[in-house]
């Protein structure tokens, strides 16, 4: 009798262990969803129309103006660091996150571009006597940055207001006169500074292959067009 109980108990334990082992195999066969990255890096690219007014070394392809962005995810907000170099010394700019880029992924201007959509004023930017600069911004950035306008009709039945994600980063000449030598009409300023009388776009991010801006680190390609997982 004791032997029979032991065999039954042994079978129960073995069966439990086998079930657990089988469950582990099944679980390991299912790919876990990748967590969004904690840090995102990308570059901004010059507006070809005004690059000679932006560059410290106009026409020197070995020393072009550059701007690199690093965004680190935080628990309450994120930290963006913009680093500039080879910029004409003393220039001032205004940094925005915007809804749309006028670049295509490969770098050409988007032939269907009409405007930048919603824009958020994030910071002033200054190029020092060496043509360099660093700016740090702390706010909601990765995957969840959006503007909300409750005066505009909702996009769908589940949304109470129209939301606009600003997944692109760009900066504009603060002084329109700085871009006049490149053909900019200073009598027609853009609204991209505190006085809403700025110059043209200086540098901007390009879309990722998903079509989304680089501040979307967790794209959902199951939707058409691609959306961003918050």
Chain segment 2-36, per-residue pLDDT in tens? 444 334 434 444 444 444 444 444 444 434 457 89
Span 131-180, pLDDT tens digits: 999 999 999 999 999 998 877 766 655 555 678 999 999 999 999 999 99
Span 202-230, pLDDT tens digits: 999 999 999 999 999 999 999 999 999 99
Instruction: Supply the pTM of this predicted model.
Output: 0.82
Indicate the class that CATH gives domain 39-228.
Answer: mainly beta
Tell me the two tokens of residue 170: 């760009």
What is the pLDDT of the chain when averaged over all its residues? 87
Query: In the chain, where are the structural domains located?
Result: 39-228
Span 181-194, pLDDT tens digits: 999 999 999 999 99
Q: What local confidence, expressed as pLDDT, does residue 11 receive?
A: 46
The Cα 100–Cα 67 span in angstroms is: 18
Lowest-confidence pick of 14-18, 53-57, 74-78, 117-121: 14-18
Q: What local confidence, expressed as pLDDT, does residue 1 receive?
A: 41
């Amino acid at each position: 009798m004791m032997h029979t109980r032991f065999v039954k108990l042994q079978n129960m334990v073995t069966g439990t262990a086998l079930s657990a082992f089988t469950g582990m195999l099944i679980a390991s066969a299912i790919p876990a969803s990748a967590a969004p990255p904690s840090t995102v890096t990308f570059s901004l690219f010059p507006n070809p129309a005004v690059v000679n007014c932006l560059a410290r070394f106009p026409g020197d392809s070995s020393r072009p103006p550059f701007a690199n962005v690093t965004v680190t995810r935080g628990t309450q907000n994120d930290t963006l660091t913009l680093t500039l170099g080879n910029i004409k010394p003393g220039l001032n700019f205004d940094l925005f996150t915007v809804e749309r880029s006028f670049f295509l992924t490969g770098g050409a201007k988007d032939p269907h571009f009409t405007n930048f959509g919603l824009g958020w004023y994030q910071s002033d930017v200054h190029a020092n006597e060496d043509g360099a600069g660093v700016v740090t911004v702390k706010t909601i950035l990765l995957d969840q940055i959006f503007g909300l306008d409750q005066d505009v009709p909702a996009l769908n039945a589940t949304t109470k207001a129209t939301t606009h994600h600003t997944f692109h980063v760009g900066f504009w000449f603060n002084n329109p006169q700085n871009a006049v030598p490149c053909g900019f009409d200073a009598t027609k300023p853009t609204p991209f500074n505190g006085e809403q009388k700025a110059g043209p776009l200086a540098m901007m991010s390009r879309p990722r292959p998903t079509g989304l801006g680089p501040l979307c680190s967790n794209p959902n390609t199951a939707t058409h067009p691609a959306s961003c997982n918050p």
